[in-house]
Amino acid sequence: MLNFKNINRITLVLFIGLLIISVFISISVFVFILVFTGWLIFTIIGSFNITWNYHLDAYNFNKTCNKKQVAITFDDGPNTEFTPQILDLLEAYHAKATFFCIGKHIEQQPKLVQQIIEEGHTIGNHTYSHSEIFDFYGKQKVIDEIETTNALVASIINKEMILFRPPYGVTNPAITKAIKHTKHKVIGWNIRSLDTVKDNEQNILNRITKNITPGAVILLHDSQNITVRVLEQLLLFLQENNYQSVTVDTLFNIEAYA
């Protein structure tokens, strides 16, 4: 498996091998630069693709799922305008979903958190600040972000969340260490709708529906209008094709709370 640990090992062996060989024959410095560049490319792509399981093992897709089930997930809420519309649609189609909420939004919308839970959906941790520079935070700062958000939700629903989704799906060694400490399970996805990219409704919907298979995890955002319109079409598609939308904990048969 080409994960961070193995790439580091391979790179180290290559460097040592090259150094030994260079005692006997001259090796251009560019060969060393090439090896380092290979390491860098793998690490950058692996960090940006949660589906690679490069830094940590995330729940991205349940390949053993033998029922026509998928998990719809919403990031970045709760949102006063769009989350209630999404909850209404889910209820109308008897669908369950998972909401990865941001701590600072939870502080402003505690009632929405309560409503999400009461309607049978799952809530997960999506950090407190969702900072653009989150990926540069050290282990302790990541732990603080996760624990602050967990405490906020615990004060509302009396449960400790154990599902976590890193902002932008980016992972790195600091997040790996933090998760080990907080014992959260990391949830990724295997269908990225790209609903936050400027695009039309039909293209976003097609990106999802063409990839639907049993066990799929779909990434959406309950922070914008277009997602509400896409969701309605998606729920219709799932209904017509006899698919059921369940929470991620149901899909993977794991616990969502401690």
The catalytic residues are: 75, 221
Q: Assign residue 97 a region: left if phi > 0, alpha if psi is -120 to 50, beta otherwise?
A: beta
* Residue tagged 């997930």 (tokens): 73
Number of residues that bind Zn ion (CB under 5 A): 3
Report d(CA 135, CA 55) in Å as an integer: 13
CB of 174 to Zn ion, least distance (A): 17
- 222 makes contact with Zn ion (CB under 5 A): no
- 76 makes contact with Zn ion (CB under 5 A): yes
Report d(CA 179, CA 173) in Å as an integer: 10
Name which position in 39, 42, 75, 228 contacts Zn ion (CB under 5 A).
75
Site string (149-188) toward Zn ion, x via CB under 5 A: ------------------x---------------------
- Please tell me what DSSP assigns to residue 202: H
The two three-digit tokens of residue 230, written as one number: 């896409």
Report d(CA 166, CA 129) in Å as an integer: 11
CB of 3 to Zn ion, least distance (A): 23
Q: For Zn ion, which is the closer residue by CB, 75 or 195? A: 75
**Contact (Cβ atoms closer than 8 angstroms) between residue 252 and residue 70:** no
- 195 makes contact with Zn ion (CB under 5 A): no
DSSP string, 44-83: HHHHH-GGG-SSS--B---TT--SSEEEEEEES---TTHH
Report d(CA 46, CA 68) in Å as an integer: 30
The two three-digit tokens of residue 42, written as one number: 């793998």
Binding site for Zn ion (CB under 5 A): 75-76, 167
